[in-house]
Amino acid sequence: MSDVEVVQPVPPRADQRPVTTTLHGHTRTDEYEWLRAKDDPEVIGYLEAENEYTQARTAHLAGLRARIYDEIKARTLETDLSVPTRVRGYWYYGRSFEGRQYGASCRVPVTDPDDWTPPQPAADARPDEPALPGEETLLDLDELAEGHEFFSLGGSSVSPDDRLLAYATDVVGDERYTVRVIDLATRELHEDVLTDVLGGVTWGGSSDHFYYTTVDDAWRPDKVWRHHLGTAQADDELVFHEPDGRYFVGVGRTRSRRYVVVAASSKTTSEFHVLDANDPAATPQLFAERVDGVEYSLEHAVIGGRDHFLVLHNANGPEFELGLAPAVPTPASGWRPLLPHDLAVRLEDVDAFADHLVVSQRSNGTSQVRILDLGDDPEAPVVGDRLVEFPGELATVGAGSNPAWEQPTIRVGMTSLSRPSAVYDHDLRTGELVLRKQAPVLGGYDADDYEEHRLWATSTGGVQVPISLVVRKGVRGESGTDPVPVHLYGYGAYESSMDPYFSVARLSTLDRGAAFAIAHIRGGGEMGRHWYDDGKLEHKQHTFDDFAAAARHLVETGWTTPGQIVGEGASAGGLLIGAVANQAPEAFGGFVAGVPFVDTLTTMLDATLPLTIPEYDEWGNPSDDPVAYERIAGYAPYENVADLPYPPILAETSLNDTRVLYVEPAKWVARLRDRAPRADVLLRTEMAAGHGGVSGRYRAWEDRAFTLAWILDRLGLADRDPA
């Protein structure tokens, strides 16, 4: 029998159409900028050719992908419900159903106004059966999604009289939503249809008007509008316009429902405007004018029967403090400290209730929920101060849905790398923590089969970088010290904290012998505002140094061996992956870059692109600042592609992404193929999705199964059966 030659698929090659530009004395040539023409059939053809190549190169993983998908499905309770949340006279909850992508939102009337114990819906109720007596289906999301490849609910909000529901949908993936209003009694849609809205709406104090935001040509939310039901969108009132391209605008309502607040915020500065929620013709009143470098937010509190504003701000220090001000325009000099600035505690948020405050904060790399009890004396309003205690060093905790001003309990959530998310009610009178629900994981899952670790890697300047790691017990051999393959995740931007979290899908890698780790690198917010500041602008290189240091630490301490680490990051984390691939390719056995911000310099040079101007405070302005130009050019992945020993790379993107355009990874992959001919690079483009990927849970499982199968293959675990 003669040998049969296996023909390997040939990777696509994008045409080179060089465009040369010169700025600040630097000349750069871009061969692939033509790929930005999204509507060009040639561009679509190239992306489809890359998809076909990726499918061919990963065909051997089809069985593994199917097994991972089946494992995710088998571990998931497909027909399930959320814990009901009380809003005025109703309990609200969500339902999911086996075989359905999206689920439904429901409510039932409150039967006893004095009983704050959430009702227990029947978890096994069929889709055509109520989970609780008197159940009312507000939105059937599968019905709304019918006929669309993509569907996203941007938000839904019930009117103050509980009769109407305003909801926003996106069926493309570009995050430009259409708002409709439905009468919950008659199920009839109002004639009001609002287009090109960013997210959902905020109702005023009555049910005849609401507020919403729209974006400019650069996809920056810049305007707040007031819509009166029964009128055309063209007649809506412009409530606020922010002309400065560095600022994003948002609108919301205080928890007391007394005020509507409009925020204008850049990366470093903010100001708030306040409207009387009960006045349908109210004009915004400036609370405190913007001061460069000062960020603040407002929450309404009633102390001793008088209205006040809680001001969370950084006027007196980088980690923020909580101040108290009268409910009138007040400059920073009039914000009296309630929680003074503390370098060891980053105050992140505050929610006001009738007689207490809930503060979300961070200390030593972990999240915390803090309760402040309020008295009647505005001069000394805090009469109690305590933390909600949870076990475990690596637990991630946070305030949950707490919409009722007068509620006697606080909804909090907890998760970790090995513990599924759990919902608790904290009784403010007794201090008791009552478990309402832990996300079910089927198939005999036991958190005690896994162990969590907090490690510390030494990076640039001797800085200690925390790493959170989980591994299945026993995979490190009898000694407990054998090296194992590691899936290492990172982000490191915008002060976003990548806290430990549970993932059902991740079990498919853990049970095959891999460890999973999160590197809490600078640029994120895990260790406080200073951690963020030390990983942005002129300090951005620290982000990349920290991720490489984490990988090397895992090798040096015996957790793994060289080449047995796959690094993954998405969006700004994709920039991380691209930069580290150029700077430290030898430390990794593979990279996954999701919707990656890899053409950083091109994007930051084009002020017409989405998000560029507001991002100047994060990365710098290379158009006007030659130092920023050189700095970004020094780490931007696309600029620094060379003939390096790259490990295999999987780049994933979405055609309709408005945040990080598909063209960035497309150009990056094209240049990698040309300048690094030895590199094994794959590009996978979702042709009907946005920044968050595909919609629908089953499609999302398939999508994640694809990525995890590729990672397992790179880690040498593709043929291993799960424990």
Q: Answer whether residue 475 is part of any domain.
A: yes
CA separation for the pair 133, 165 (Å, rounded): 21
**What tokens were used for 340?**
């003074």
Residue 289 has pLDDT above 80, yes or no: yes
Residue 32 has pLDDT above 60, yes or no: yes
Q: Are residues 549 and 697 in the same domain?
A: yes
Looking at per-residue pLDDT, the higher value among 578 and 693 belongs to 578
Give mean pLDDT, residues 555-572. Answer: 97
Q: Are residues 448 and 587 in the same domain?
A: yes
Q: What pLDDT digit, counting tens, does each position of 44-103 carry?
A: 999 999 999 999 999 999 999 999 999 999 999 999 999 999 999 999 999 999 999 999
How far is the CA of 471 from the CAs of 36, 91, 300, 480, 554, in angstroms? Answer: 42, 39, 44, 11, 13
Q: What is the CATH number of the domain that holds 673?
A: 3.40.50.1820
Q: Are residues 390 and 460 in the same domain?
A: no
pLDDT bracket for residue 315 (50, 70, 90): very high
What are phi and psi for residue 664, nearest 5 degrees?
-65, -55
Q: Are residues 364 and 332 in the same domain?
A: yes
Catalytic residue among 140, 192, 599, 657: 657
Catalytic residue among 159, 459, 571, 654: 571
Q: Which of 378, 407, 436 is the last residue of a domain?
A: 407
Count structural domains, the chain. 3
Q: Are strands 450-458 and 464-472 parallel, antiparallel or unpaired?
A: antiparallel
Q: Are residues 397 and 502 in the same domain?
A: no
349 is catalytic: no
Give mean pLDDT, residues 401-416. Answer: 95
Q: Answer whether residue 426 is part of any domain.
A: no
What is the pLDDT, as a whole number, of residue 2? 45
**Other C-beta atoms within 10 Å of 306: how many?**
11
- Packing angle, helices 41-57 and 663-675, rounded to 10: 60
Residue whose entry in the numeric block shows the structure tokens 């915004």: 284
Q: What pLDDT digit, counting tens, does each position of 245-266 carry?
A: 999 999 999 999 999 999 999 9
Q: Are strands 515-519 and 486-489 parallel, antiparallel or unpaired?
A: parallel
pLDDT bracket for residue 661 (50, 70, 90): very high
What is the pLDDT, as a whole number, of residue 688? 79
341's enclosing H/E stretch is none
Q: Are residues 355 and 451 in the same domain?
A: no
Q: Answer whether residue 532 is part of any domain.
A: yes
Q: Answer whether residue 605 is part of any domain.
A: no
CA separation for the pair 671, 642 (Å, rounded): 9
Q: Are strands 26-30 and 19-23 parallel, antiparallel or unpaired?
A: antiparallel
Catalytic residue among 227, 273, 487, 691: 691
Half-sphere exposure of residue 274: CA atoms within 13 angstroms, side-chain side: 20
Q: Are residues 493 and 530 in the same domain?
A: yes
Q: What pLDDT digit, counting tens, does each position of 613-652 carry?
A: 999 999 999 999 999 999 999 999 999 999 999 999 999 9
Q: What pLDDT digit, counting tens, does each position of 1-29 carry?
A: 445 555 789 999 999 999 999 999 999 99
Q: Which residues contact 418 (CB under 8 A, 6 or more apart)?
A: 447, 450, 451, 452, 470, 502
CA separation for the pair 293, 256 (Å, rounded): 29
Mean pLDDT of the chain: 96
Q: What pLDDT digit, counting tens, does each position of 186-198 carry?
A: 999 999 999 999 9
Helices (H), 340-459: none
Q: What pLDDT digit, counting tens, does each position of 354-408 carry?
A: 999 999 999 999 999 999 999 999 899 999 999 998 877 789 999 999 999 999 9
Q: Answer whether residue 378 is part of any domain.
A: yes
3-state secondary structure of 193: strand
Q: Are residues 499 and 395 in the same domain?
A: no
What is the pLDDT, as a whole number, of residue 6? 58
3-state secondary structure of 509: helix
Q: Which residues contact 611 (CB under 8 A, 6 or more apart)?
A: 218, 219, 220, 659
27's enclosing H/E stretch is strand 26-30
Helices (H), 35-140: 41-57, 62-75
pLDDT bracket for residue 547 (50, 70, 90): very high
In the chain, pLDDT over 90 holds for what percent of residues? 93
CA separation for the pair 381, 481 (Å, rounded): 53
3-state secondary structure of 615: helix
Residue 714 has pLDDT above 80, yes or no: yes
What is the pLDDT, as a whole number, of residue 611? 85
How far is the CA of 405 from the CAs of 121, 351, 410, 573, in angstroms? Answer: 24, 10, 11, 38
Q: Which of 407, 430, 454 is the last residue of a domain?
A: 407
Q: Are residues 466 and 337 in the same domain?
A: no
In the chain, pLDDT over 70 holds for what percent of residues? 99
Q: Is 199 exposed, middle or buried (0-12, 13-18, 19+ CB in 10 A)?
A: middle
Q: Which residues contact 286 (CB under 8 A, 6 or more apart)?
A: 271, 272, 273, 329
What is the pLDDT, as a whole number, of residue 504? 98
User: Are the C-beta atoms of residues 554 and 486 closer than 8 Å to each other?
Assistant: yes
The alpha carbon of 57 is separated from its chain's Cα centroid by a whole number of angstroms, namely 31
Q: Answer whether residue 699 is part of any domain.
A: yes
159 is catalytic: no
CA separation for the pair 503, 396 (Å, rounded): 13
Q: Are residues 675 and 647 in the same domain?
A: yes
The 3-state secondary structure of 213-258, one letter per residue:
EEECCCCCEEEEEEEECCCCHHHCEEEEECCCCCCEEEEEECCCCC
Range of the domain at 458: 41-74+444-599+637-714
Q: Are residues 67 and 88 in the same domain?
A: no
CA separation for the pair 333, 656 (Å, rounded): 46
DSSP string across 534-597: TTSGGGTHHHHHHHHHHHHHHHHTTS--TT-EEEEEETHHHHHHHHHHHH-GGG-SEEEEES--
Give mean pLDDT, residues 465-480. Answer: 97
Q: Which of 391, 407, 423 is the last residue of a domain?
A: 407
What is the pLDDT, as a whole number, of residue 1? 41
User: Are the C-beta atoms of residues 202 and 196 closer than 8 Å to each other?
Assistant: no
Q: Answer whether residue 199 is part of any domain.
A: no
DSSP state of 693: B
691 is catalytic: yes
Q: Are residues 365 and 302 in the same domain?
A: yes
Q: What pLDDT digit, counting tens, does each position of 95-154 carry?
A: 999 999 999 999 999 999 999 999 999 888 888 899 999 999 999 999 999 999 999 999
Size of the chain, expressed as the number of residues it contains: 723
Residue whose entry in the numeric block shows the structure tokens 């370098």: 343
Q: Answer whether residue 282 is part of any domain.
A: no
Residue 715 has pLDDT above 70, yes or no: yes
